[in-house]
Structure 1
Amino acid sequence: MKRSRAEDILHTSIAKYLALAEPEGFFWTSIENRRNGRNEGGRRKNRGCKAGVPDILTIYRGSVLFLEVKSLKGRLQPSQKERIPEINNAGAGVVIVKSVEDVFHALTRAGVPLRATPA
């Protein structure tokens, strides 16, 4: 799935915000799930990587929340529409975010005491 330039910029902004605002005991990581050619796709599939996994994984006090980053015009891919209910059924949440403010609100609703609000 090809990611737009606007989505890359937003993803970078979110990463910078999380690095600044993360409280103690909070873990997050970006999940790189781009297609990088047929060979790489096959290698990832053989290792158990699944298409449609959201972009950012967050964990706070045992609660898992995934963030799917989309540009303002971005839409979910079919693999993402399939994966999100599987993740929800496994007990984790998924929130689609289109701004740093969306990240702040999603994590605040999840009970994460962020150290900074978006500017």
Structure 2
Amino acid sequence: MEVYREILPESYLLILADDDEPTGGAELSYALRRACRSGKPSIWIDCSHLRNLSFATLRVLVRYYRRLQERRIPLVLCHLGDSAGQLLTRLPAALCPPVVPSLLDAEHYCRTQLPLSAE
């Protein structure tokens, strides 16, 4: 798996793409570690270039989703294919990161989840 990074004004975007290398879990873990340290209020993961979601990748996503929940940083998946979506439905709802159709929906979701800043 290849992981591309894009730093947006209000989020850290990771774009996942299929690759011939079976080390997707390690690449994703490294990218999520960097995203956690970025100081951005949310993390979006675009899966539009990912044909399949491996169990190792799913395990990394769930682990970071739970860590980020504790820090009140939303992690949102978007453009998730049917097979990956089916894999997520096998997990308990509390373990699953939210899935939205598009990056605009991710922005809207995060805007409604983030606490309002004190003025």
Please tell me the TM-score bracket, short chain as reference: 0.3 to 0.5
| TM-score (norm: length of structure 2) | 0.42
* Larger Rg over CA atoms: 1
Q: Which has the higher contact order (CA 8 A, sep 6+)?
A: 1
| TM-score (norm: length of structure 1) | 0.42
